[in-house]
Structure 1
Amino acid sequence: MNWLSIFRFEFRYRRNRPATYLYFAILLGISFAAVTTDMIDGMAGGAIKENGTRTIATLSLFLYLMMGVLMTSAIMGVAVVRDFEHRTDSLFFTKPIKRWEYLTGRYLGALTILLLTLTAIPLGLMIGEWMPWRDADRLLPFRAATYWQPYLVLIVPNALIVGSIFFAVGALSRKMLVVFTQGMAFLMLYLLSGTLMAQIDRRETAALLDIFGMRAMSFTTQYWSIAQQNNQLITLTDTFLYNRLIWLGVALLVMAATYYFFSYEHSAGPSGKRRTDKTPVLSAAALRRPLPRVSRQFGTLAWLSSLRSQTVFYARVVLRDLPFLALSIGGLCMFLFRAFDDAGGWYGSRTLPTTYVMLSKMSIFTGLFLMILMVLYVGDLVWKERDVRISQISDALPVPNWVSLLSKYLGLGLAFALMLTIAIGLGALMQTIKGGASLIEWSVYVTDLYAGTLTGLLIFMLLGFFVHVLVNNKFAGHAIVVLFFISLGLLSYLGIEHRLLLFDSASMGTYSDMNGFGHYVSPFSWTTLYWAAFASLLFAGAVVLSVRGSEELFKLRLRIGRHQLTRPILTVAMALLIVFVSSGSYIYYNTNVLHDYQNSKKNEAELARYETTLKKFASLPQPRITDIDVDVELYPDVRDFSAKGHYWLKNKTTQPIRQIHLQTYPADEMQVKQLSLSRPGRFDDRYVHDFDYRIYQLDQPLQPGDSLQLAFDLLYHTNGFKNGRENVDIVQNGTFFTNQYFPGIGYDEHYELGSDDKRKDNGLKPKERMRAQNDPIGLRQSVMGDDADDVRFAMTIGTTPDQVAIAPGYLQKEWTGKGTDGKPRRFFSYRMDAPMANFYSVVSARYAVKKETYKGVNLEIYYHPGHTRNLDRMMKAMQSSLDYYQQNYGPYQHRQLRIMEFPRYRGYAQSFANTIPFGEDMGFVANIDDAKDIDMPFFVTAHETAHQWWGHQVTEADVKGGAMLSESLAEYSALMVMKHHYPKERMQEFLSYELDYYLSGRRGESKKEQPLSQTEHQSYIHYNKGAHVLYALQDQIGEDKLNQALRTYRDKWNVSQVAKTGVYPTAADLTAELRAVTPDSLRGLIDDWIDAITLYELKTDKVTVKPVGKQFDVTMTISAEKVRADSLGNETPRPLNEWMWVGVYAPKAKGSHTEKLLYYQRQHITKPKQTITVRVDQKPDRAGIDPLNLLIDRHPRDNVKTIE
């Protein structure tokens, strides 16, 4: 017998196994479903085609990770283990077979079957493309290479790498559980690499660490355009190639080690030595000793005693099992790594070690590792006695099925509880080490990990026991449980989204320091009770169907199970059924009776119906709001509010208005108690029920220049809970909502579907994201909305006595009194002293306040008590911003500026007139090290303060490019404040993140990329590219000149000037001012950077240094390329004629995080290859072109090179 004979045997064995065809069918079916259902929508859409090369490559690798790895372990890991499990190893090893022949035959036989099985992935994807119901508009012409190239480049190398390691572990350990544990080691590496990906300077390392190559592929394609994603094949180049070579090398080393350490000896232990028989020999006297009297006890007390002892026994079995310990320790180590490495937030920021931050870092262990352990050990415990071949003895014992199963269940639950307790201790320890001992919240740990995580595990364990008992096949049980988990994530694509249908769909929600677990507790508790009752019923079924003895046929088990269905079990089952039905009924009452439940598809259909029914009214002339006076009563404890007030509406058009269209907030909770106008007429309510849309037919038309009053009385009443998407605006502590809850005038385009794919699915034509810059309607309405220009504003807010309520304007009066229910209330009356944008908020919370007066402006920060760490940074940012903006743009229009913290349910800050609601985790809990961190609280505060000029003093038209006039200018302004706060070398950190976010955003674009001056609510353009481009432009033409253009723009287009003309500014008005201050020789930059999509490819190929006396000549060989891209990313070369910065860095000083520039001057770059020599006074370390990343360079990592 040689290796070829063993290969043929292994191949034939696998070929004849039904499991092989089942694996193939599963992969084929899932791959087919992935492209023929809505699952593909998450990876493609719009201009990114569903069969684009990157989409198919990503999907192929994802499918391998989701199912292929499991099948790799089952095929490759068991190749040698099978001989030991079936006790055939002795037969093989008595034959004259060489070790390499045995291993090679087994390995190649299993690998061949594996590679053939994995062809189901490209085949399933290909077949799916040919289905007649696929939308041709979402597909490119068929190309076989799109499917088979990812198989060859992505899947086959993974099968070799992962399969080799699984084979090695199985051969050396001879235990399948250890093989599965090895899979967790792969997962740990993948997760570790994901943690590193968050920071720009560690992404390449992360890409190399990923054993599956997913991160490496993502890194290689991170800046691909739409055209590249559709047409360019994934190839093994650069970092991706190095990743594959590294891991193929590791696999080769592992196989070599397997050959070296593999032993034929059946009884070899871990050390390779034979076990010796240490069974004690009893003496004759001992054998004659009388046996002790046995007291036999049966009944409930005896069984409970047995339950207790067996529970402890199984808990010890699990806790002492090496794979359990290895996986648990590995998961906890992953948590510790993530907790230590706390960078990786927005712009690389870090947060304070709060308890909820520790819980989020711990989620990999608590949400993934423990769940995988649950899957493995439920099956292992069910099969424990059969695996060690004592089941015939244990089944003969007078112990009921429920004692045996329940003790295993409770034992595993105790093991998980201990692991979670250790996790709590480690979390608190990490908080203490990182200086956050005062931030430890034991109640949050206990609630989240015991009430949340442990309860979820226990419910899934009940299901797992049922599955394993029902199928009575260990591996099939594991596979079904895993498939069940996967299917839960896919059900939403089938429109199944209701918590009554999604197993254990309870969620603790987002914890906030301000609001705790808040309103998530009630739906979590009821959903948990519902699924716990259901899973317990399944467990009762497992008790009845448990296998005892050798009767394993399902028919016989059913027959025997009837005798197991005792009265106590029936009583418990009936009680569980009552709980299940009762809790389910209560959930249904809340989600479907008190609220109008709709899944995502139905909701999209309703939005489409809104448009098809009401779009005809969009162009009708409507009056505009000029005055607002509202009384708001907040009831935070029950999450209600009422609003009673009036608008003054004025006809600012040139024609009479006969109908007034009113849109109220479309929510189940909103009740319109009154809606009336001061002129005679009648309401047409035909659209109220479906769309909350009313038409008021005036008896006499409202003439141009005339006004009338709209009075309203609203009640927002939170009643029960929804199926999902719980309201986070109105909460017990930290309410923050805007005027979207109040009546609007006219048809509201914000309720239209935006995605062209979704529009087509619902019978709608594609639509532009925004109006053209010359659209006459768009020019006469601001981005704040079409129902008002600037308004006169007053608001009175009542809230609970322990809260402070804030709205835009100046506090006129504060007092306490009693509400209509007789309970104490606290009231605040605000009024703005000048017209402001029709954009306002209502905020209320239990606040502490920090106040300062700076140059006549009252600065206030309302914050959650305890969130004091960054208050000085935020106060300093307001002061620095006011100084810079007033000096360069014009005076600040208000006498105060207030920041108000709100809970972390929404991660942003937003600027209203003299008020800035500020997210809890946007700055209040940031952990800033000034020596190395970007000061995000300072930066965000500067950005939002800038909106008091860009957005409030000057409000842009609602047309393409509008966001450049608000968001780009605000982001640029914040960068300029930071420029005067940091040395220029530190600005490279900001600019590198802005550049990265822009280039990454291009890859995520689904429709078309626009130039900056035409941006259409594309945040990666108007935030990141806009700030980057304007910062680079001021570097070229001078800061003073660019700010002069901005001041002129503000003077010409501020709200008082717009009030005279009725026309709002566009990006063209700003670029006209920029051109006016830009020298003729540099005006092409505005065309390139603002009015077009221009990219650079800069690289420093070589750097050498030559001593010249006490100085050094640094010679750089530089490559440069300039291209212009269209909206899909197709590129056209452009001639080079640019002045670009060249820099030379000194070695980093000891203890410093920033390198100092020895040389930083512009050089004229006109050729693709240039050699530049500069002289510096100190021995340099690195040099290159555009070292501060001022230009939009597609690959900025290679701009600077270490000197050879």
Structure 2
Amino acid sequence: MKHLLKFELRACFRRPETYIMLIILSVSGFLIGYKQLTFNTTADILVNSPYAISSMVGLLSLTGIFTTTIVAAFTLFQEADAYFSQILYTTPLTKSQYLITRFSPVFGIGTLLLIVTIAGYMAGQIACPDKVAYGVFQLKAYLQPLILIALPNLFLCTSFVCGMGWLTKNKLMVYCAGLFLYITYMVLLMYSGSPLLAGALPQSAGAMSIAAILDPFGLSAFYEQTNPWVLEQKNRQYITLTGNLLLNRIIYLAIGIVLLMIVWKFLSLSLSIKQGKRRPIELLHNDTFRFQPVLTVTNRNYYRLLTLKSRVWMDLKWILKSMPFTLIVVALVFFMSMEFYDGIDRGIRLPEQYVTTGLLANRILYDLPGILLLVSLFYTGELYWRSTESRFNLIEDSTPAGRRLGFAAAWMSLSLVIFIFTLLIIINGIIFQIVYQYLYIDWEVYATLLGLIVTPLILCVGITLWVHKVIPFKWIAFSVSVLLIYLLTGKLGKSIGITHPLLRFAEAYVGKYSEMNGWDNYIAAFLWKMIFGFSIILVFHLRSRTFRIIAVLVCLASGIFIYLHYPSLPGKNKLDWQQSYEQNYRRYNQLVQPAITHVSANVELYPGDNRYSVNAVYFIQNTSNKSIDSILVNFEEEVSVDQAYLIANREKVFFRGKKGFLLLRNALQPGDTASFHFSFNYHWNPFVGHKAFNAIVQNGSFIRLSNYFPVFGYRSDLEIYSPVERRKRRLGMPTPLEQLGQSGLDTRDFITLDLKIGTAAGQTAIGIGELRGTWSSGHRNYFSYYATSPVPFRFGISSAAYKVQRLHYKGVNVEVYYYPRHYENVQRLLTDAAGTLDYCRKNFGTYPFNTIRFAEVSQFTTGFAGSSYPGTIFMTENMIFHTNLAGDRKQDVINELAGHELSHQWWGANQLVPDDREGAKMLTETLAMYTELMMAKHTTGMQSVIDKVAMHRQIYYSERGFSQEEPLYKVNPDNTHLYYSKGLVVMYNLSELIGEERVNTALNHFLKKHIYPNPVPVTTSLLEELYKVSNPLEKQKIDSLFKMVTKI
């Protein structure tokens, strides 16, 4: 056995693919460490902390799925591939010896590859010159997760993959085993609490505990143990082999051992000869034979067509009738069913979604292509080398068809298999719609989806087949094809700068589907890339000179079109101009600038063309006691400025460029006024993508317009905030957030507004303030909005083919503009809005407008469920309007959003508006969360309040360990979990401490004292009002809640 083991190990190290994997994994590990790649959500966690290293080592251990699959495929079947099995089984080799001499090399090579990867990761961290984000180097931090997480994972992978190979004696079943392990990890990741799922909805503690036990790789158990840790623990503390982590490791080590025992029990080292049912032999008389001439095909094209048909049919039978195909179908259906359920059931926070075609299409589009790409890579290698491994290629090559026709047949066969896989998943989606009784099935969307998924995968198969054709060694070709495909389509390529669409022509469709907006213009860009990609492949495979010339011309034409439509603004250039901006203008941070007092704007929207134009005037005034002789003007980089000029003291001064100074000959004296005129346009490019807050789309546009209007003064938000990048560019510390007690410039711009919006015929444009009038002209609709009383410089617009429902409630018009098919929750929204108006007007003060309108926007806008502006609230289609309130947990999201967003008309969006300083978010978001909580108390009862508080307490505990925590009254705007989740719990505790009535009294007094143009509100002023309605003992507890970092 010793000699056999040496022989097997020697054979593994003689294979060039072993060294290719060693090089790829070691270099990848080094780059991950050197570039400080991490999945931590903030920079406060040290890059080489035990938590960060354990998390990364756990993720790197997942490479064991693929390495053990590949090593097992060429180790377990080398005798069968060489037709040596018959001789091997005649030797006096015992089952134990056979299993040990096969298992050990697979596990040993896998261990070596894993150690090399982690060693590369460690070396990269040591070699990194930027050590600011590092703590003290500790070898234990790398060894502990290797022993507790990575090696047990590798043992399980090896046991499962080898066991499947031994029991089935089928190489494709080995690939299926690897795929099953990967799918299991992806499914359990949804319930793990992993920071990999940034922005994911919170899971219940029970779901996380189950995932911690069931996750075969232990990562869910790791996150369950470490999520409650605070920052100091994550930077210093090591994981402990206790609780669910210990139980998980014991269970899956035991499963690995049991798998090997089952294999030992059932493995047979003899060639089994299957005997079928004997049929009686029929004696045929000689007179039954009759000579018939054989039809000879002389037409070359017809012969090729028949041969191609025969080859495709043979390949399809080999694939479709095999057990691996059946198991892959089962695995895909299971995986996508879990993804569908995860998309429908939104966890403990949001209600169940309606099972629409759009919802399922987006889940399929996001999850399926990557899995099918993995499957196609394995199938491509096996199918292409099938004839060679069975020694049948010599006969094939001697036929007139040759290898070229075999290549075409393999490409067609695999394309059909991909089509079948995708079609089955789409049918699975349709079944989900029927089961959940949402019977509006959009067949056109499913048909388009089929093409969007299958087309790039067919292109990837063509590239992979070409690599196998060029490289005459199967496993080297396989390694190269995997690397090439993931460079062209995956995140690996993007991380090293492969971002241009001419290089990522095989990438899967990256857009999304919106029920309001459809696919928009992304499909056009996708088709151009597909045309370019297929033309490249055909240039190398077409035989006819004429057709090859046509392919070259198509390749050139499509490539030139893509190149001309892709703007050159890579990430590095953006960092360069950010650096230049800070170095040139930061010194003017405290420069006195004029205040904008009135904005008059004409906005022309062209949804069908994905563009809009703006022609506007600022009326400005020097409200300071100093003269102003220069104005620092900032336009957004992504807009195209047509013209800009200032008229002041009968002087017209033109501004050119996007950022710079306007120099005045005659300075603006205190109290002087002037006007700044400007026009710009914007158009987004589908090759680059749209901006979430600047989404001018065909239906359901949303534009946070004030973000793209010019701003006066230095903009600290344009600074580079990456600590690593700042140190590299020697920029020092970024501009600090204004401290609570610091007295600076009053940066609140309150304006009166006159806004006219033109949009396409059939659409309604929504602005802010009051609607003055509507009219039509030149096949376009126009809408005029105004705000005569001062409102914050914060305005957004939307445009869609809306249906509207209205409610006149106690002098206020409540209006909901919605997509006609999303009608289910409109009446509920009107009712809950009326209830919120009652509560806020009774306890906080008057509502300043005659109208409050809610407008639905497409899910091409991301980043919020609802966003509040003066007199208008915008809400995305997939978060509010189309949720099933009667679902499993009956979460009342409509009441939550109505209470939260409508209360912003008092807190943050209109009346009480703090400036940018410590604690500002407590005065806006925390107070809105309090209002939301009180609305839940008065509409659904105290139990719903208790459940909500428990949920937000869980969110706070799971997120607090990623950043340094400050007291709530000094909260940093980056720490959303503090002013949302902890803020809600603190306000609940406050209301329980002094009572809801006294809290509201304090808030009412605070609002009256700091409503614009009264002094700027700060959190200490709010605390003073709370002190006034509290006794001395309660004051101490209030300080504990707001001024200390304490458990809640």
| Interval containing the TM-score (normalised by the shorter chain) | over 0.9
1:809 equivalenced with 2:796 (yes/no): no
Give the drift of 1:626.
1.0
2:369–2:457 Cα contact (<8 Å) kept = no
SS of equivalent residue, structure 1 residue 900: strand
Alpha-carbon separation, structure 2, partners of 1:307 and 1:859: 66
Residue of structure 1 equivalent to 2:56: 59
Cα distance change on mapping 1:904 and 1:238 into 2, 3 Å: same
- Does 1:635 find its partner at 2:627? no
- Confirm or deny that 1:88 pairs with 2:84: yes
Q: Give runs of aligned pairs for residues 305-316 of structure 1, distance below 5 A.
A: 305-316=306-317
Displacement, 1:722?
4.7
SS of 2:572's partner is helix
Q: Quick one: distance in 1 between partners of 2:592 and 2:680? A: 29
Retained in 1: the 8 A contact 2:605–2:758?
A: yes
Q: Is the contact between residue 501 and residue 687 of structure 2 (CA under 8 Å) also seen in structure 1?
A: no
1:799 aligns with 2:759: yes
Amino acid at match of 2:912: V
Corresponding residue of 2:465: 465
Q: What is the letter of the counterpart of residue 588 of structure 1? A: Y
Which of 772, 779, 802 matches 1:824?
A: 779
Structure 1, residues 783-836: CA drift from partner, whole Å, max 9, x if none?
xxxxx2x2112212222231111211222222222xxxxx32222222224211
CA distance in 2, matches of 1:993, 1:536: 56
The match for 1:217 is 222
The gaps in structure 2 that reach 5 residues or longer are 193-200
| Cα distance change of structure 1 residues 538 and 398 upon mapping to structure 2, 3 Å threshold | closer
- Pair 1:718 & 2:683 matched: yes
Give the Å deviation of 1:719.
7.3
Match of 1:954 in 2: 912
Aligned residues: 1029
User: What residue identity is the alignment partner of 2:44?
Assistant: A
Partner of 2:670: 704
> 2: distance between equivalents of 1:1084 and 1:286?
113
The residue identity in structure 1 corresponding to 2:590 is S
Residue in 2 that maps onto 1:968: 926
Q: Mean Cα displacement is larger for which, 414-423 or 884-893?
A: 414-423
Q: Distance in 2 between matches of 1:251 and 1:571?
A: 58
Give, in angstroms, the shift of residue 682 of structure 1: 6.2
Question: What is the alpha-carbon distance in structure 2 between the residues aligned to residue 365 and residue 384 of structure 1?
Answer: 30
Matches within 5 A, 1:1134-1145: none
Q: CA deviation at 1:939?
A: 0.9
Of 532, 535, 541, which aligns to 1:533? 535
Q: Identify the match of residue 185 of structure 2 among 184, 187, 190.
A: 190
Residue-by-residue CA offset, 1:497-520 (whole Å, 9 max, x unaligned): 211222423635121111111121
Q: 1:1085 to 1:280 in 2, by over 3 A?
A: farther
Kindly provide the CA deviation profile for residues 1151-1174 of structure 1, in whole angstroms up to 9, marking residues without a partner as x.
Answer: xxxxxxxxxxxxxxxxxxxxxxxx
Letter of the 1:679 partner, please give it.
N
Root mean square deviation, CA, Å: 2.5
* Inter-partner Cα distance in structure 2 for 1:524 and 1:799: 27
1:730 aligned residue (696, 706, 713): 696
Deviations 1:122-163 (A, max 9, x none): 3212222332x5212122221111111121111111111111
Superposition map of 1:466-485 within 5 A: 466-485=466-485
Q: 2:365–2:449: 8 Å Cα contact kept in structure 1?
A: no
Deviation at 1:45, TM superposition (A): 6.1
* Deviation for aligned residue 1:298: 3.7
Q: 1:882 to 1:305 in 2, by over 3 A?
A: same
Query: What is the CA-CA distance between 1:18 and the residue it aligns to?
Result: 4.3
Q: How does 1:427-506 map to 2 (within 5 A)?
A: 427-438=429-440, 440-450=441-451, 452-487=452-487, 488-505=490-507
* Structure 1 residue identity aligned to 2:494: S
Matched, 1:840 2:795: yes
Shift of 1:314: 2.5
Describe the shift of the 1:681–1:336 C-alpha distance in structure 2 as closer, same or farther (beyond 3 A).
same
**Is 1:495–1:600's contact at 8 Å kept on the other side of the alignment?**
no
Change beyond 3 A, Cα 1:699–1:363: closer
Give the aligned partner of residue 167 of structure 2. 172
Cα displacement (A) at 1:1067: 1.3
- CA shift at 1:538, angstroms? 4.5
Report the residue type matching 2:728 in the other structure. D
1:44 positional shift: 7.5
Q: Which of 411, 428, 431 is the aligned partner of 1:409?
A: 411
SS of the residue aligned with 2:137?
coil
TM-score by length of 2: 0.94
Match of 1:938 in 2: 895
Who is 2:297 aligned against?
A: 296
Question: What runs of 5+ residues in structure 1 fail to find an aligned partner?
Answer: 541-565, 783-787, 818-822, 1096-1190, 1192-1204
**SS at the partner of 2:773?**
strand
Question: Partner letter of residue 738 of structure 2?
Answer: R
Q: Structure 2 vs 1, CA of residues 465 and 991 (structure 1 numbering), >3 Å: closer, same or farther?
A: same
The residue number in structure 2 matching 1:979 is 937
CA contact (8 A) 1:683 1:695 kept: no
Q: Distance in 2 between matches of 1:27 and 1:931?
A: 45
SS at match of 1:906: coil
Q: Secondary structure at 1:60's aligned position in 2?
A: helix
Instruction: Give the Cα separation in 2 of the matches to 1:459 and 1:852.
Output: 54
SS at match of 1:504: coil
Higher relative contact order (CA 8 A, sep 6+): 2
Structure 1 residue 366, shift from structure 2 partner = 2.6
Q: Quick one: which amino acid aligns to residue 464 of structure 1?
A: T
Of the three residues 640, 643, 650, the one matched with 1:673 is: 643
Give % identity: 26
Q: Among 571, 579, 590, which residue is 1:608 paired with?
A: 579
Determine the C-alpha separation between the residues in 2 that align with 1:602 and 1:884: 50
> Structure 2 matches for 1:749-1148, cutoff 5 A?
749-767=716-734, 770-777=737-744, 780-782=746-748, 788=749, 790-817=750-777, 823-907=778-862, 908=864, 909-929=866-886, 932-951=889-908, 952-1005=910-963, 1008-1017=964-973, 1018-1056=975-1013, 1058=1014, 1063-1095=1015-1047
SS at match of 1:655: coil
Q: Distance in 1 between matches of 2:525 and 2:629?
A: 47
Contact 1:769-1:1016 within 8 A present in 2 as well: no
Match of 1:586 among 561, 570, 591: 561
Q: Does the CA-based 8 Å contact 1:526-1:587 persist in structure 2? A: yes
In the alignment, the residues of structure 1 paired with residue 592 and residue 601 of structure 2 have an alpha-carbon distance, to the nearest angstrom, of 25
Answer with 1008-1017 or 850-859: which moved more.
1008-1017
Q: Which residue number in structure 1 is paired with residue 35 of structure 2?
A: 37
The question of 1:75 aligning with 2:71 is answered: yes
Contact 1:926 1:937 in 2 (8 A): no
Partner of 1:1202: none
TM-score normalised to the size of structure 1? Answer: 0.82
Q: Is the 8 A contact 2:351 2:889 kept in 1?
A: no
Compared CA separation, residues 611 and 187, structure 1 to 2 (3 A): same
Counterpart CA distance in 2 for 1:263 and 1:867 is 61
Classify 1:946/1:139 alpha carbon distance in 2 versus 1 (closer, same or farther; 3 Å): same
- The structure-2 alpha-carbon separation of the partners of 1:519 and 1:361, relative to structure 1 and needing over 3 Å to count, comes to closer
Following superposition, the deviation at residue 280 of structure 1 comes to 7.9
Equivalent of 2:112, from 98, 104, 116? 116
Moved more, 1046-1055 or 189-198: 189-198
Per the alignment, do residues 88 and 279 of structure 1 end up closer, same or farther by CA in structure 2, a change over 3 Å counting? farther
Distance in structure 2 (CA, Å) of the matches to 1:364 and 1:801? 34
The AA in structure 1 aligned to 2:797 is V
> Superposed, which structure 2 residues align to 1:12-51 within 5 Å?
12-37=10-35, 40=37, 42-43=39-40, 46-51=43-48
Q: CA deviation at 1:107?
A: 2.4
Q: Does 1:135 align with 2:101?
A: no
Shift of the alpha carbon at 1:447?
A: 1.1
SS at match of 2:1046: strand
Aligned to 1:357: 359
Is contact 1:797–1:828 with CA below 8 Å preserved after alignment?
Answer: yes
C-alpha distance in 2 between matches for 1:791 and 1:25: 62
> Partners of 2:838 and 2:70 in 1: how far apart?
67
How far the C-alpha of 1:191 sits from its partner, in A, is: 2.1
Pick from 535, 548, 559: which aligns with 1:573?
A: 548
Q: For the Cα contact (< 8 Å) 2:396–2:402, is it kept in 1? A: no
8 Å CA contact retained: 1:754, 1:769 = no
Are 1:104 and 2:100 counterparts? Answer: yes
Q: CA deviation at 1:340?
A: 4.2
Code of the aligned partner of 2:596: I
Structure 1 residues 345, 362: CA separation in 2 closer, same or farther (over 3 Å shift)?
A: farther
Q: Which amino acid aligns with 2:230?
A: S
